[in-house]
């Protein structure tokens, strides 16, 4: 039997899915307290919640992180930052969008993204961590040391993204609690795009090519110039005829007058 040959084959390429995650609340380990069950509800901005959601997303697929938060617990935020960086290291692309605010530790989290977009009217906020403290003098001093360590860690995190900004300048900005507009974030390297994404290089229109001087020869008159030249020649001929008519004697008949004028025109030609 003759061996059959496959002439056609159809293949469907798998499309890369985009998974969206949202931080639209304070970053915290526990949710609100439920007075009916006397238990805390699950927080959708906790490190545990993000760990579970990221585990559900296959490595290599794109993740969009949308942020509108005034911050929250530092430990939870830093853990989310590192979970996102681990997912990026496994092949996923993390694209961040500041939809409103990215303040305090929420700004830490958005720094984990491979690409950061800020909408118009949005903002970020830099400041040193703070905490409510109760205890004796030794405990208060210990907490102050812990806050200093957290501030140093945050500076390292921001410096991983920063450009045209040294660490001492960043420290001063955190000390005085600095609000950053989208343009300022773009300048310091804390975001990549403001508003709409810039068009890709291939999508931009090609620059107009300069005209070839050999194509349009300046010595070659166009149609309009030809018409003007012909009109000048006709006017010159009419002027010659008028001058000849004025110089003729009145004894000539009208037919003789025109005949003589035409004969002189043929002899004189045109200029």
Query: Per-residue confidence of the chain (271 residues) as pLDDT tens digits?
Result: 555 443 333 343 446 689 999 999 999 999 998 899 999 999 999 999 999 999 999 999 999 999 999 999 999 999 999 999 999 999 999 999 999 999 999 999 999 999 999 999 999 999 999 888 899 999 999 999 999 999 998 999 999 999 989 999 999 999 999 999 999 999 999 999 998 755 454 545 555 544 444 444 444 556 656 666 666 566 556 555 555 545 544 444 455 555 665 565 555 554 4
> Around Cβ 161, how many Cβ atoms within 10 Å?
18
Q: Where in the chain is the domain with CATH 3.90.226.10?
A: 18-198
> Around Cβ 190, how many Cβ atoms within 10 Å?
24
Q: Residue 98, SS3? A: strand
Name beta bridge partners: 39: 34
Burial label for 50, CB within 10 Å (0-12, 13-18, 19+), is buried
Residue 17: per-residue pLDDT: 84
Residue 248: per-residue pLDDT: 46
DSSP annotation of 15 reads: P
Q: How many Cα atoms are found within 13 Å in the side-chain-facing hemisphere of 119?
A: 11
* CATH number at 18-198: 3.90.226.10
In the structure encoding, which two tokens stand for residue 88, read together? 């990026």
In the structure encoding, which two tokens stand for residue 243, read together? 């001058």
């Amino acid at each position: 039997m003759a061996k059959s040959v496959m002439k056609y084959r159809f293949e469907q390429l798998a499309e890369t899915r985009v998974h969206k995650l949202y931080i639209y609340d304070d970053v915290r380990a526990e949710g609100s307290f439920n007075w009916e069950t006397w238990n805390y509800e699950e927080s959708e901005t906790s490190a545990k919640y993000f760990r579970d959601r990221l585990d559900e997303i296959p490595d290599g697929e794109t993740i969009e992180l949308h942020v509108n938060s005034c911050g929250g617990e530092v430990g939870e935020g830093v853990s989310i930052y590192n979970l996102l960086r681990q997912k990026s290291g496994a092949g996923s692309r993390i694209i961040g969008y500041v939809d409103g605010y990215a303040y305090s530790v929420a700004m830490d989290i958005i720094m984990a993204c491979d690409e950061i977009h800020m909408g118009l009217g949005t903002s970020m906020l830099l400041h040193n961590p703070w905490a409510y403290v109760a205890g004796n003098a030794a405990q208060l001093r210990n907490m102050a040391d812990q806050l200093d360590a957290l501030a140093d860690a945050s500076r390292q995190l921001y410096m991983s993204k920063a450009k045209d900004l040294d660490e001492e300048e960043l420290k001063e900005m955190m000390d005085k609690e600095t609000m950053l507009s989208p343009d300022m974030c773009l300048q310091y390297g804390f975001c990549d795009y403001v508003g709409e994404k810039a068009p890709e290089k291939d999508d931009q229109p090609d620059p107009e090519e300069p005209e070839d001087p050999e194509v349009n020869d300046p010595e070659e008159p166009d149609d309009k110039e030809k018409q003007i030249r012909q009109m000048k020649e006709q006017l010159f001929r009419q002027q010659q005829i008028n001058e000849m008519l004025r110089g003729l004697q009145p004894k000539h008949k009208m037919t003789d007058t025109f005949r003589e004028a035409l004969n002189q025109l043929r002899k004189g030609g045109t200029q």
